[in-house]
Amino acid sequence: MKSIFNLLLIFCFFASTLLSYSQKDSAKFISEIDILKKDLDSCRVFLSGESHQYVKTNSKIKLELLSFLHDQYDFKNLIIELGYSRGYMIDQYINNDTSYFELLASNTDKQYLDFYRKLRQLNLTYPENKKIRVYGIDVERFPEDGFILMKKILDSNLVVPDTLSFVIENINAFSKYFMSRRSMDTYDIEDDEDNYKYNNTTFYNSKTIDTLIREYSQYRTVFQNYLKQDFELFDKVIQTVVEFRKYEKYSSMPHQYVYRETYMFNQLKSLMAQNPTEKFYGQFGRCHVSQTELNSECNWWAFNALAKRIQNKLPDSKIISIGIFYENSSNYNYFGQKETNEELEKYYSLSSIEDSRLMKIGAKDTFLRKHYQYLIVVKNPNLSKWSSSDNEKKYLDIGFGQSYYQFNNLNQTIAGNSFSNNVFQYHIGFNNYKDRARFGYSISGLFRNEINGTEAKYRMGGSSISGFLGYEFVHKQRFSLSLSGLLAYKRLNLLVEKNPGFSSPNINGFTNLDVVKFFNPAIIIGTELDVRHDLGRHFCVFVKGNYNWDFSRKKWYQSVGNGSRYLKQSPTTTLGTYGWMFGFGLKL
């Protein structure tokens, strides 16, 4: 038994080592970052441009750039490509109001939540006068943020006047509806006659929002008297929802793109005017930070992005743009021009480092230089996309399956009776997925199998405990496929009880016993294929297949008093070979 636990301890050690390695972030993800210094002295707006698909990689870059700019050049303001409400909640959270984390978690992907945690940890290291502030300058494209924030504001005002009770109850209900994630990205759209189209959800989202906006407008003065010091924030959030509806009504029109970019520029311009000595950093989609007029890029035409508008309309505010590109990525071709892509390939070949490298664009590379001053080339981007899966997932599995054991020799010993080689079992397990590593443990039990022979009854049972460590080869939004190695301890229990009127059973020379207890322990090394499909936010279904090798003696022991006796002549019984299982997983 001691050797068994030693093996399990060794396995757990290697599992924990892999986990700790996967959680490490390199101390300096971006090499050559110091070359920025020659351009930063007079810079007031610094923008990096990403492809949104690489959340983990982008978060590393954003955090490292922000830390560098903050510590070296006093950039304390982070602007984000999200609306006012999300920016406000993030700002409150990283400045130590942790009650906002639950609100953010209700409608935010876990990989973004991980970035918010790290941003907060960074901010806690700064003194009060150096704290980072976050501002959402984008059009409110996700109105659930606004309603979630509205509910928090309203919850702090407990006594609701009768005049507002109907409106406030509806706001609270709609907010909880959004927080349940029942209606993400399913907004109904009006036709040309302002009739709302059915979207197969519980509520008409747009119709509800428009109704609540009208009701708020009617009772705005009453809200002002009721909310007092919270009114300014509440009113601002309502206005961002109004902007969302205006933005939505421009859908599939050039108006929508122009409106959004103009809105972001005006929000940033206002922030800069309110804080005339402050500097601002943001990481947006790559096309938003281009400093030239875009034609066909990002499917925009004769279009001035945010960076270009700053360059044109705020000439006294120096702006620097960085484009982030990902080697061996099919989406790096944001730009349709052959010449631009040829210039990009040259920078890929220049970068020989392991992670990512910041490079200044050469004066002769005019197709790139018109967009940015610098490039970051990512050599090994994390391929888990924001839309494909969470960075970390945990499941509690409950399943049912079958294993194949070799009982042929045992069945010959108990002649005239036989156990099926196919053994049914139940399963409880814990699975953790982190950075595409899969690890965890499981406990299984055998359903008792009983044979009523002429001379005796035979009852078979058993259990196993296993640990596994593997890799998630397929990593989709709702689907994953993993291959793991496993180490397990299995034990079969056999109870032989004589029937009345018969002599004690003679099994391998042990006689004159009314009840004989045997057990067969085994050390198993195997491999497991795990396929699972998420059914929603909380549940998944899975199917597992495994093939195992039994490295034990394959012989039986007899329980004797408080000890046991090894039965050298007992029938060989193999607990290896193969098995399968299916069941449900609860996402933790």
Ramachandran assignment for 537, one of left (phi > 0), alpha (psi -120 to 50 degrees), beta (any other): alpha
- Same-domain status, 248 and 131: yes
Would 23 be classed as within a structural domain?
no
Contact present, 61 and 283 (Cβ < 8 Å)? yes
Task: Check residue 509 and give its pLDDT.
Answer: 45
- Same-domain status, 505 and 576: yes
Per-residue model confidence as pLDDT tens digits over 257-268: 999 999 999 999
DSSP 108: S
Which token pair is 506? 């003679």
Would 567 be classed as within a structural domain?
yes
Closest by Cα among 104, 142, 134, 387 to 247: 142
- Same-domain status, 456 and 334: no
CATH number (domain holding residue 495)? 2.40.160.20
> What is the count of structural domains for the chain?
3
Q: How many residues appear in the chain?
A: 588
Would 335 be classed as within a structural domain?
yes
Would 70 be classed as within a structural domain?
no
- Same-domain status, 454 and 511: yes
- Same-domain status, 409 and 487: yes
Ramachandran assignment for 509, one of left (phi > 0), alpha (psi -120 to 50 degrees), beta (any other): left
Q: Which amino acid appears at position 441 of this protein?
A: Y
- Same-domain status, 450 and 537: yes
Which token pair is 460? 């078979």
Main-chain phi, psi angles of 233, to 5 degrees: -65, -45
pTM above 0.85, yes or no: no
Q: Give the C-alpha separation, 115 to 94, whole Å.
A: 11
Is residue 181 over pLDDT 80?
Answer: no
Is residue 429 over pLDDT 90?
Answer: yes
- Same-domain status, 395 and 521: yes
- Same-domain status, 286 and 253: no
Tell the burial category of 42 from Cβ atoms under 10 Å away from its Cβ (0-12, 13-18, 19+): exposed
Is residue 188 over pLDDT 70?
Answer: no
Instruction: Write the CB contacts of 292 (distance below 8 Å, at least 6 apart in sequence).
Output: 308, 370, 371
Is residue 434 over pLDDT 80?
Answer: yes
Per-residue model confidence as pLDDT tens digits over 18-54: 444 333 343 466 777 888 888 888 899 999 999 888 8
Task: Check residue 355 and give its pLDDT.
Answer: 67
- Same-domain status, 460 and 582: yes
Would 433 be classed as within a structural domain?
yes
Task: Check residue 474 and give its pLDDT.
Answer: 85
Is residue 430 over pLDDT 90?
Answer: yes
- Same-domain status, 86 and 200: yes
Q: Give the C-alpha separation, 356 to 368, whole Å.
A: 18
Q: Give the C-alpha separation, 571 to 548, whole Å.
A: 20
Q: Which residue has the tokens 């002769």?
A: 364
Task: Check residue 207 and give its pLDDT.
Answer: 86
What is the overall mean pLDDT for the chain?
A: 84
Contact present, 516 and 507 (Cβ < 8 Å)? yes
The domain boundary residue, chosen from 278, 295, 319: 278
**Structural domain span for residue 121:** 76-278
- Same-domain status, 245 and 154: yes
Main-chain phi, psi angles of 365, to 5 degrees: -90, 70
Closest by Cα among 428, 434, 526 to 475: 434
CA angle 433, 436, 438 (to 5 degrees): 45
- Same-domain status, 191 and 137: yes
